[in-house]
Amino acid sequence: MKFKKILGIDIGGSGIKGAPVDTKNGKFLTKRHRIETPIPATPQAVAEVINDIAKYFNWEGPIGCGFPAVVLNGVVKTASNIDKSWIETDARELFTKKTGLPVWVINDADAAGLAAVKYGAGKGIKGSVLMLTVGTGIGSAFYTRGRLLPNTELGHLILNGHNAEKYTSDATRKTEKLSWEEWGKRFNEYLLEMERLFWPELIIIGGGMSKKMDKIASQLTLKTKVLPAILLNDAGIIGSAMSVRANRDELMSWYESLKI
């Protein structure tokens, strides 16, 4: 089975989107396809959407899925912003059996970071890169010399007595009707804490906030360089596809053991 062209899928709180990706250059092969995230977003309901996206592209090869939770060996371990029924669900097996195709599942921020380090704002950076995806929550991916420390949950650090993402996510900005200046000051507090703890060479802001960094740039006071993600919201799709190529031997060995 060839691993150059892979279907990448990014599972988000409001939408599930996918596109075939050329993993050798990080480019979409067609326009992406988006389906609203089902309510409630139970395992079976999301699996149906994954299958629908695969069918939309008449896909017959491997699939990479970025998932908004800690994922260990395909099994979902947390559910901060998803349906609690996902905890201990083997998403890799569920999606594979639903589509009949080999599916690799990776934390969504880790996937976005993979794309950013290879093809985006982090390309060529030799030191540590911290990727933060800011939207409904705050996802994080930490790369050092191109190597991933998987499943970091830096959006859940305690900041001013609050879970950080509950204090400074874009969803909180909207819920509390904060001005960009007010929210920018909160976000700066969070970034200063990231700098104090990790001192990365670069912090990349992804997710929906990647398009709005100009609104808060004047509020940022940290020394670390901060850049918006060049790949914007496409990073999750591209990185999910790339994760299949990076883990192809393990994926295919596991897939063949299922005997679907």
* Domain CATH for 186: 3.30.420.40
CA atoms of 211 and 229, how far apart (whole Å): 8
- Can you tell me the distance from the alpha carbon of 55 to that of 11, in angstroms, rounded to the nearest whole number? 16
One-letter amino acid at 192 equals L
The residue written with tokens 């195709």 in the block is 101
Within a domain: residue 117? Answer: no
Residues 151 and 243 placed together within one structural domain of the fold: no
Q: How many domains does the chain have?
A: 2
pLDDT in tens, 15-66: 999 999 999 999 999 999 999 999 999 999 999 999 999 999 999 999 999 9
Distance CA 222, CA 194 (A): 10
97, 175: one domain: no
Q: Are residues 240 and 147 in the same domain?
A: no
The pTM of this model reads 0.91
Interatomic CA distance for residues 239 and 66, integer angstroms: 8
Residues 97 and 19 in one domain: yes
Do residue 248 and residue 225 come from a single domain? no
User: Angle at Cα 173 formed by Cα 170 and Cα 174, nearest 5°?
Assistant: 95
Find the domain containing 53 and state its range.
5-110+234-258
Four-CA torsion 70, 81, 8, 202, nearest 10 degrees: -70
State percent of the chain over pLDDT 90: 86
Could you read off the pLDDT of 210-250 as tens digits, one per residue?
Answer: 889 999 999 999 999 999 998 888 999 999 999 999 999 99
For residues 93 and 145, membership in a common domain is answered with no
Residue 116 lies in a domain: no
Residues 225 and 205 in one domain: yes
Computed on alpha carbons and rounded to an integer, the radius of gyration of the chain in Å comes to 18
Residue 214, in any domain of the structure? yes
